[in-house]
Amino acid sequence: MEIMFTFLNWKNKMISLNMDTWVFGENLFGDREYIIHNKYPRFIGRIEDNEEGGADVIDIEFFDKVKSDPLELAKLMRQAGDAVAEYWRLLDER
C-alpha cells in the first residue's frame, strides 16, 4: 500500500494548519514505527531500536527544502529523539 501526503499551497505559500508538531504511527503490520514532524522543516522518519536501549530516527524524508546548516539539523534530530523518548514513556504509563 502506498501512502501519499498532500500539503496545501495558496499562491506558493504554505497554509498553516493547526496540527501537532510531532505525530507517531506504524505501518499496517505493526512492525515499523514512524515519526512525522509537521512544522518546518517537515519530515517523516522511521524509528528503529538501537543497541543502547534507545531509538534512532532513520530513513528520513524531508517535504520542505532544508537549510544545510548542520547545527540546525543536529538540533532537529535531537528534538526528534526527545519526542520519541517522551512518546515511549507515555506509552509505558498506559
Structural domain containing residue 83: 19-93
Residue 86 within a domain: yes
Confidence of residue 1 (pLDDT cuts 50, 70, 90): very low
pLDDT in tens, 30-47: 899 999 999 889 999 999
> What pLDDT is recorded for position 26?
94
Find out whether 43 and 60 touch, Cβ atoms under 8 Å: yes
Mean predicted confidence (pLDDT) in 63-75 = 89
Residue 32 within a domain: yes
> What pLDDT is recorded for position 2?
44
- Angle, CA of 60, 47 and 35, to the nearest 5°: 65
Confidence of residue 16 (pLDDT cuts 50, 70, 90): low
> What is the number of structural domains in the chain?
1
Residue 8 within a domain: no
